[in-house]
Amino acid sequence: MRRDYIDIGYSPKDTDLICEFHIEPSAGVNFEEAATHMAGESSIDSWTEISTLSPELAAKLKPHVFYLDEESQTVRVAYSEDLFELGSVPQVLSAVAGNIFSMKIVDNLRLQDIAFPGSMLREFKGPNFGLPGIRKLVGVYDRPLIGTIVKPKVGLTSEKHAEVAYNSFAGGCDLVKDDENLTDQKFNGFDRRAELTLKIAEKAEVETGEKKMYLCNITAPTCKEMTRRLNVLKDLGASYAMIDIVPVGWTALQTLREEAEDAGLALHAHRCMHSAYTRNPRHGMSMVLVAKLCRLIGLDQLHIGTVVGKMHGEKHEVLSLRDECVLGKVPADETQHVLAQDWGGLKPMFPVASGGLAPTMIPDLYSIFGKDVIMQFGGGIHAHPMGTAAGATACRQALDASLEGVSMQDYAKNHTELEAAIGKWLKK
Ligand code: CAP
Ligand code: MG
């Protein structure tokens, strides 16, 4: 391993890719040594001096550890763009999020963020619809969107699934999605579920006068099958497809981004399994980076957490995720280890808040996120004491109260569905 990767004061080139890492060296390994090995292993080097790495080649491609703070265990590395296959998320991750997590000389290592240079950003299309395109699709511009997840997660027949979706739409949901583990099971096959639920969404549109979006989960064992499912949805007149982004993998997402554009479908990114490597603040990689990669590749909307619901995610972290989804230029945020990112012209993604939410949380959600958020209520709609449709109506009533600046309690005085929701979820 060469010794000249520590290069404090190096000023990254505009074309460099920059990574921030959290590094905890193993016992007996000093911080600079751990940083050197990590920089080498994530770029051009090996565990020992290799004769085949000429000084000229090293000078051209070597990484620069330009920031080193042992107290905060933070390291920043600049990598030449020549080290990467332009437009390939898998290859970037194989380099800067690959072997290094396995190195014995670290006890913990976390890739906090990547700042992509414009020269690499330009290789990605970003969202096809994005937040503005989704608003145009749904025809709603001035409020959060309300969605639900058909519950129970799995087990219903396709007919029953469609019935629950209908009640959710009729009650006021703009969006109804499949749960993350519902794909193509014997009791609820993909093709039949898509056909029945899309047909009933159309019925609800006619009856309510509102657009109704069904997000059918196309997660499948092969890209070929996911593409087939995407085209089944297209032929049925769907506007969306949903994907479990972590189980399917980055190459599948880049493939489906192309296929979805050809099919004219928006992509909903469910992030189940992300916590396997984002949750531990000392090891793995951040959800901010997952969100950045999703926007680069071009998913249209992404789960980012709720602050007030059942999943972990502090307010500052969730808002950093929201900013990464939405802003054109994301400022550096040292406290959240977010590197500054200029998104160029890539469209914003629609942030999705979901997980453990009840209609009575809408005032808090609205004050946290404002109008540019999709609020999803699974149990919070299907556990409503008056049933699914009333649960959806209670959400719209709670949202109307927030939009009008009226307290939920006052608004509930002449809105029975909201009053029942308050009785169930607020009065403990
Ligand atoms: C929510 C949900 C979503 C979570 C995912 C669930 O249902 O369907 O998958 O929101 O979490 O299965 O838990 P509930 P995140 O509304 O009944 O909780 O959005 O944090 O990725
Ligand atoms: Mg779910």
Neighbours of ion ligand 2 (CB under 5 A): 179-180
CATH topology of domain 130-425: TIM Barrel (3.20.20)
Coil, helix or strand at residue 285: strand
CA of 250 to the centre of ligand 2 (A): 20
Q: Does 28 count as an annotated binding residue? A: no
- Determine whether the annotation assigns residue 356 to a binding site: yes
- 16-121: CATH topology is Alpha-Beta Plaits (3.30.70)
The pLDDT value given to residue 49: 84
Is 387 known to sit in a ligand binding site?
no
| pLDDT at 428 > cutoff 60 | no
| Distance between Cα 398 and ligand 1 center (Å) | 20
Q: What is the pLDDT of residues 305-334, one digit of tens each?
A: 999 988 888 999 999 999 999 999 999 999
d(C-alpha 79, C-alpha 64), whole Å: 7
Q: Give the mean pLDDT of 88-94.
A: 98
d(CA 317, CA 328): 18
Would you say 144 and 135 are in contact if contact means Cβ atoms under 8 Å apart?
Answer: no
Contact 168, 393 (CB under 8 A): no
Atom of ligand 1 at shortest range from CA of 380: 16
Cα separation, 375 vs 388, in Å, equals 16
Looking from the CA of residue 352, the nearest atom of ligand 1 is 19
Q: What is the pLDDT of residues 247-270, one digit of tens each?
A: 999 999 999 999 999 999 999 999
The neighbour count for residue 252, using CB atoms within 10 Å, is 20
As annotated, the active-site residues are: 151, 270
Residue 55, C-beta contacts closer than 8 angstroms, at least 6 positions apart: none
Angle between helices 89-96 and 287-297 (to 10 degrees): 150
Query: Could you give the residue range(s) of every CATH 3.30.70.150 domain in the chain?
Result: 16-121
- Distance from Cα 155 to the centre of ligand 2, integer Å: 14
Enumerate the CATH 3.20.20.110 domain ranges in the chain, comma separated: 130-425
Q: Render pLDDT for 164-193 as a digit per residue (tens, 0 to 9).
A: 999 999 999 999 999 999 999 999 999 999
**Whether the predicted model's global pTM rises above the 0.95 cut:** yes
pLDDT of residue 48: 84
